[in-house]
Structures are given as C-alpha cells and as structure tokens.
Amino acid sequence: MGNTAMDRVPCSWCGAAVFALLLGAVSSQNLMLCYYVPTSYFPVSDVPADLCSHLVYSFGQITSTGIVPVRQSDLQRYRVLVGLKKKNPKLKVLLSLQKDFPSVVDAGTTVMENFSSSAVKFLTSNGFDGVDLDWEFPSGKQRNSYAAFIQIFNADLKKAGLLLSAALPNNPYSFKAGFDPGTLTREMDFMTVMAYDFHLYLAGRDNRTGYNSPLFTPKGESKFLSTAAMVEYYKQVGISASKLLMGIPSYGRSWKLANASQHGLHAPATGKGDPSPYRHFKGLYLYPDVCMARQLGAAEVFDKENVASYLYTKNKDWVAFDSQDTVLAKVNFMKKLKLAGVGIWALHLDDVTGVCKAGPLPLLNEIKKALQNYSNSTLADSWK
C-alpha cells in the first residue's frame, strides 16, 4: 500500500486484475481529470494534491522510438506531480501526448511495437499511472493504423497496470475521419470530450458573438455546437457513457462588438476582444480576467436556457466564459447522464493568484464541490 514502485512492477498475470480494479474505480467515482501545463505563473509546486482525481501533465514528446520530455526540466516537474501521490494515495498522474503521432502511426507495426514497449518503460520509470492521447487529429488515411496503434499500446500498458485515456474532438467530422469508436470504447479507460472552442472569432465566418462552451446548442445554430450535443453524439456512435468525461474549460473567448448597444448572443462582432485585463491575451479570457472584468464593472449575464455565461464591457468587449453557474449546471447534467466525470482544460487558466478573492483555483473548486454535492443544488433543474 502506498509503495508506488511496487504498484507498478510489471507482471503478466496481474494485468487483468488491475484492469478490473480500474474499471471499478471508473464507474463508481466522479472523476475530475485536470490538465496541467507548466507556466511561470503556475509552477508545479502550486498544484494541489487533493483537488483533482487525475492530473495530466501536458505534454510529453513522441519520437519514433519512444517518449521523451519536451524539455529536460520536465523530468523534475514529473517528479513533483507524481510525488503528490504521497499526500493523496488515490491520485493518478498521467502524461499527455499531442504532437508527432505520425512518426509512429504512419511507420508500420514494428515501429509501433518498439514505441509502445519503450514508452511504457518511460512512463513506469517516471512514476506515471498512465498516458493520455491528445492527437488533434488523425486523418482518414491514418484511421486504421491509429486503431492498430491503440491496441498495441494498450496491451503493453495493461501488462504494466497503466491507464490509457484520450481527448476527443469537439465535432463529429474530425471524429468520423480519424477515430474508430469500437477500438476506443474497448481500449480506453476513459475519454474527455473537448467540449470547448465551439465558437471563436473568425473574420467573415464566425463573426457574431457565440459561446465557447454552452451546455446546449442555442436556437439557430447547427446541431453539434454544444457540450450536450457532442456527448450525445459520442453515446450514439457507441462510446459507453461510463467512459466519457465531460470537458469543461476554465477559459473564455472574447469578441469586439460592432455596436455597443447590441451585446447579446449572435451580436455582430468586428474582431477578437482587446487583450484581457489581467493576463493580456487577445481574444482569450482566463478566469482571473473574468473576475477583474467584473471588478471593473462589466455587465454579466447567465443564459439559463443554454447554460452559458457572458459579460460585456464599456469598451465593447464581449466574453463567453464558464462561471460558477455554468459549471454547477454542467456537472449536474453530467451526473444525470451517468458519465464518468469531468475533464478540465486547464489548471493554470483558473485564478491561481487570488484576483477573484475566493482562494486559489476557485472555478475548479466549484467543480469539485458540484461533483460531491450534485444532487443537492439550486441549479439541479436549470437545464430541464
């Protein structure tokens, strides 16, 4: 118990037992999977041990012969994250992979097998509990070899008692092209629906205000532009609800209104919003930016029908974001659908410096609270 080295001794006979144990854990608990991206303002030493059930280090680097750290200093950060398991023995720490899948998946079975056994050694020796595949996105030509790769990799992962998860696209077109639902639902321990970036300003194409991550698709928009629609889509193509995590963003998207007096949903916009008040990103609001905008007197609206929040400023900036209200309603909906839990992009986009005056990581703490108290909430029925 608690001996991480022992937990991970590879053995051929324990794979099945470990797998059964993991499945049990997945279906009986509300997973809260949080992506961690190292940044100067949110060093790994600030990551709490007891907020998330799963921490996912973003990212490791794929090469044709295995996984390597993106930068040498990542190795020390891996150790700190994995070390949090001493404080919270239930915590799982995964490594996410995003780029350079083609160097393995397009290179044939031998390279896949070599990559797989070497990657498992890398994960094990660095103390990880598993790996997350975040390929954005395999093409139609890569679909079959990606499915084969997932099978090869997972066989080795399971022999070592490691988890396999994936991030799924926010639209059916990318999914249909590159992913095989049967393989995913069989091989993956869980999958996060990347239910965000449904709208961001694009000149001439997405130039009316829109929600980054609504729970429901607003009237007049095409069917799949929401969290609930994409979750439903994945269930329809045969992915088990008990393996799906609802993706929730801790960031919002901003727009520049064409006309200060037209500040609702689908109002004309001329560009991305100005650099955000706290982190100074154009077109992007982190949660502390939302809090600072509130403090500067922005007007805020909770669209209860679609479950989305937005604010607008005197400077004609318009921001769609996730609030306490939206995350509570989303978590309640997730529970109603009996999904496995939520996946959050990302820790560092929440308020890490106390701008909101609500303690560290207030939005993620709201999510955690909602996961624990889902059935007892004032917003439980807001989405009916």
- 63 binds ligand NAG, rule: CB under 6 A: no
Amino acid symbol at 154: N
Whose tokens are 């209860």? That residue is 304
Q: Is 136 a catalytic residue?
A: yes
Amino acid symbol at 382: S
- 111 binds ligand NAG, rule: CB under 6 A: yes
- Report in angstroms the alpha-carbon separations of 329 from 19, 210, 242, 318: 32, 19, 19, 22
Query: Beta strands of the chain (E only): which ranges?
Result: 31-36, 54-63, 66-69, 92-97, 130-133, 163-168, 190-193, 244-249, 251-257, 269-272, 284-286, 299-303, 308-312, 317-321, 341-345
Q: Rounded to whole angstroms, how far apart are CA atoms 213 and 220?
A: 16
Q: Return the number of the residue (61 or 174) whose C-beta is nearest ligand NAG.
A: 61
- 151 binds ligand NAG, rule: CB under 6 A: no
- 236 binds ligand NAG, rule: CB under 6 A: no
Q: Point out which span in 98-106, 254-262, 297-305, 319-327 binds ligand NAG (CB under 6 A).
A: 254-262
Q: Rounded to whole angstroms, how far apart are CA atoms 205 and 261?
A: 22
Q: Rounded to whole angstroms, how far apart are CA atoms 321 and 29?
A: 27
Q: Point out which span in 50-58, 110-118, 194-202, 356-364 binds ligand NAG (CB under 6 A).
A: 110-118
- 207 binds ligand NAG, rule: CB under 6 A: yes
Q: Point out which span in 210-218, 260-268, 291-299, 305-313 binds ligand NAG (CB under 6 A).
A: 260-268
What's the chain's length in residues?
384
Q: Point out which span in 185-193, 194-202, 285-293, 367-375 binds ligand NAG (CB under 6 A).
A: 367-375
Q: Which of 186, 266, 304, 369 binds ligand NAG (CB under 6 A)?
A: 369
Tokens representing 102 are 């083609």
- 378 binds ligand NAG, rule: CB under 6 A: no
- 258 binds ligand NAG, rule: CB under 6 A: yes
Q: Rounded to whole angstroms, how far apart are CA atoms 142 and 162?
A: 25
Q: Which of 3, 12, 73, 110 binds ligand NAG (CB under 6 A)?
A: 110
Q: Which of 261, 297, 357, 384 binds ligand NAG (CB under 6 A)?
A: 261
Amino acid symbol at 283: G
Which listed residue (113, 136, 300, 305) is catalytic?
Answer: 136
Chain residues that interact with ligand NAG, rule: CB under 6 A: 110-111, 114, 204, 207, 258-259, 261-262, 268, 270, 369, 372-373, 376
Catalytic residue numbers read: 136
